[in-house]
Amino acid sequence: MSQLGMRVEIHVRPSASDTAVGGEHDGALVVRVVEPADGGRATDAALRAVAKALGVPRGSVTLVRGATSRRKLIEIDARSKTDQSLATALRALRRRIGT
């Protein structure tokens, strides 16, 4: 089990037609959210979407860097999952295209 969590770079695409997690952009996991990039709404939505996609509680996904940027660094504290199962889930999400 992870004690510190796993850090992942994400690329947030605000104001999308629907919320989805999948694919890659310059090595970062793509997170599309309906919310606009206004007042942190897109960031909050992106953290919720990642948590849901990985099957972890929302409180397990925190922003480390990039509050006002599309590219963000997040940390996933998934004590209920092994590092291996979390890494496998992230790889599967990165391979999803057009979600």
pLDDT in tens, 46-96: 999 999 999 999 999 999 999 999 999 999 987 766 667 888 889 999 887
Domains of the chain and any CATH numbers: 6-94 (3.30.1200.10)
Confidence of residue 4 (pLDDT cuts 50, 70, 90): low
Using CA atoms, how far apart are residues 92 and 69, in angstroms rounded to an integer? 25
Place of tokens 């199962």: 85
Dihedral sign (CA 49, 41, 43, 95): positive
Most confident of 3-17, 35-49, 81-95: 35-49
Where does 20-75 have alpha helices with state H? 41-54
Q: What is the pLDDT of residue 95?
A: 87
Indicate whether 3 pLDDT > 60.
no
Output Rg (C-alpha) for the chain, integer angstroms.
12
* CA–CA dist 4, 90 (Å, integer): 17
Encoding tokens for residue 28?
Answer: 């970062």
